[in-house]
């Protein structure tokens, strides 16, 4: 009898466990329908970049040197022949179609510097893409292919996304097209260091994102795009469960502006800030450490005109709470210039509300002016005069700073920010002087360009092919 009862209890326990397992599995999401509905709108983005004749020659010389060094070995090293001035693959990533007429979102870093962009659709058709606009601070780019009747994704609302929510990514990790990975949102509003400035407050997930996923969509369970996969933290080159996506709300704002004008107009406040530590919160009369402590106010900036002062702690901007310093430029960057907003500060331990009109960043103005003024000289160079401090530091009377490059200048590997001291041994002090000299330079011949870059100076060669 005891054995029967024991067996009965064990059977009941087993049935209960099986029931709990079935219940648990029944509550897990099924992504099959989501993938079937959206995979046709996911694209592979591959780019090519021109190799200059000079670079090809340098690589050929290097190969010849290496073969000489290995001349006494039993066999020659397996060095590939250097490519000529034809295209070479430079990058690959992902993207997704947002409009049936061929508009595609991807990352800026996927297509940055590309001479040619190829889009491969789910049905293996290939199209050459045009860059409508690309924005480095948000790491977003808008492309266009010549096609109609394309499948597209639905854009969701990233502000409604919650930590713990299931999300799914579709992309081309390591070139493996239309790979699917799922996970959960592990943090909202993650700030990451950026050379371009902090304008994105990222969605952090544990989805297995790898190189090649960049630019691909992050879906919620409704099949809506809530983010654009952008970055990973990794110690081995692959996923370790820390991936970051740009909120789709940021993308909507950026893409709308790129589609309208090709340029993103960001708001500007004109302050320096820092996080509020425990000691600073006590010193400035806050109950808990939060907000952005203002440590600099630029003259004639929107912040100064609104009455923001040194030592103010901005705790809310446009009705968005500011938890830490990096939240401030993110919310400022979402607004277009001339927008009127409320700014909540704590000053001398007391709350105040100020009204502020958003300004425009100087580099945005320069970018707009550049887009309106085409490069006219044969070199493909647009420049501005170097300031007095730079000229004194370099010991020259005249010099120019490179603003943009294309054509011959791009092939010569000149870059924005380079300081041109001489061109064909002639000093240059303005765009006008450069244009005039460019008209007189001989074609199909290597010409010397003395450039200051970083802490050193070096000669480049530029060739006008006509």
The answer to whether residues 451 and 405 touch, using CB atoms and an 8 Å cutoff, is no
List C-alpha distances in Å: 228 to 243, 253, 303: 11, 13, 32
Q: Is 230 a catalytic residue?
A: no
Residue with tokens 């002639």: 426
The answer to whether residues 180 and 170 touch, using CB atoms and an 8 Å cutoff, is yes
Pick the catalytic residue from 108, 109, 213, 404: 109
HEC-encoded secondary structure of 189-252: EECCCCCCCCCCCEEEECCCCCCCCCCCEEECCCCEEEEEEEEECCCCCCCCCCEEEEEHHHHH
d(CA 223, CA 228): 14
| Cβ neighbours of residue 63 closer than 8 Å, sequence gap 6 or more | 79, 81, 82
Per DSSP bridges, beta strands 202-205 and 350-357 are unpaired
The answer to whether residues 418 and 450 touch, using CB atoms and an 8 Å cutoff, is no
Pick the catalytic residue from 214, 243, 281, 411: 214
The answer to whether residues 142 and 101 touch, using CB atoms and an 8 Å cutoff, is no
CA nearest neighbour of 290 among 331, 330, 319, 324: 324
Q: Is 214 a catalytic residue?
A: yes
d(CA 267, CA 394): 35
- Phi–psi pair at 50, nearest 5 degrees: -70, 140
**Residue environment code for 316-352, b if the CB has 16+ CB neighbours within 10 A, otherwise e:** bbbeeebbbbbbbbbbbbbbebeeebebbbbbeeeee
Per DSSP bridges, beta strands 359-360 and 179-190 are unpaired
List C-alpha distances in Å: 280 to 43, 274, 386: 49, 10, 41
The answer to whether residues 42 and 216 touch, using CB atoms and an 8 Å cutoff, is yes
Pick the catalytic residue from 46, 94, 138, 139: 139
| Cβ neighbours of residue 448 closer than 8 Å, sequence gap 6 or more | 422, 423, 424, 425, 459, 460, 461
- Helix H or strand E encompassing 266: none
**Size of the chain in residues:** 466
Q: Is 139 a catalytic residue?
A: yes
The CA angle 265-270-272, to the nearest 5 degrees, is 125
- Enumerate the active-site residues: 109, 139, 214
């Amino acid at each position: 009898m005891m054995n029967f009862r024991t067996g009965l209890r064990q059977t009941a326990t087993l049935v209960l466990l099986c029931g709990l397992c079935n219940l648990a599995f029944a509550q897990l999401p099924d992504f099959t329908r989501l993938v079937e509905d959206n995979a046709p709108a996911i694209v592979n983005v591959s780019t090519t970049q021109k190799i200059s004749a000079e670079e090809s020659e340098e690589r050929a010389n290097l190969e010849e040197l290496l073969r000489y060094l290995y001349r006494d070995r039993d066999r020659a090293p397996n060095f590939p022949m250097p490519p000529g001035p034809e295209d070479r693959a430079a990058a690959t990533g992902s993207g997704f179609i947002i409009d049936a007429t061929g508009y595609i979102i991807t990352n800026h870093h996927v297509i940055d510097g590309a001479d040619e962009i190829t889009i491969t659709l789910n049905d293996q058709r290939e199209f050459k893409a045009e860059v409508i606009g690309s924005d480095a601070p948000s790491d977003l780019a808008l492309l266009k292919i010549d096609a109609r009747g394309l499948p597209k994704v639905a854009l969701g609302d990233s502000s409604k996304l919650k930590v713990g929510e299931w999300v799914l990514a579709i992309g081309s990790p390591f070139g493996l097209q239309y790979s699917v990975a799922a996970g959960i949102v592990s943090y909202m509003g993650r700030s990451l260091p950026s050379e371009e400035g902090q304008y994105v407050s990222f969605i952090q997930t544990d989805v297995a994102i790898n190189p090649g996923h960049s630019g691909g969509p992050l879906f919620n369970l409704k099949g809506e795009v809530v983010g654009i996969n952008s970055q990973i933290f990794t110690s081995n080159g692959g996923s370790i469960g820390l991936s970051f996506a740009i909120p789709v709300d940021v993308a909507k704002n950026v893409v709308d502006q790129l589609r309208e004008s090709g340029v993103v107009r960001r708001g500007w406040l004109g302050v320096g800030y820092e996080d509020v530590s425990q000691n600073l919160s006590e010193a400035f009369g806050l109950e808990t450490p939060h907000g952005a402590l203002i440590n600099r106010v630029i003259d004639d900036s929107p912040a100064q005109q609104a009455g923001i002062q040194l030592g103010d702690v901005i705790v809310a901007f446009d009705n968005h709470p500011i938890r830490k310093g990096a939240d401030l430029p993110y919310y400022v960057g979402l607004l277009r210039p001339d927008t009127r907003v409320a700014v909540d500060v704590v000053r001398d331990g007391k709350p105040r509300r100020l009204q502020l009109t958003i300004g425009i960043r100087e580099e945005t103005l320069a970018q707009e002016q550049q887009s309106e003024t085409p490069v006219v000289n044969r070199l493909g160079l647009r420049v501005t005069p170097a300031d007095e401090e730079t000229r004194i530091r370099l010991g020259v009377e005249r010099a120019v700073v490179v603003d943009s490059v294309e054509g011959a200048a791009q092939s010569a590997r000149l870059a924005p920010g380079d300081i041109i001291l001489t061109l064909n041994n002639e000093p240059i002090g303005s765009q006008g002087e450069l244009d005039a000299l460019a008209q007189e330079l001989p074609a199909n011949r290597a010409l010397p360009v003395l450039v200051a870059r970083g802490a050193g100076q070096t000669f480049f060669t530029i060739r006008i092919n006509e």
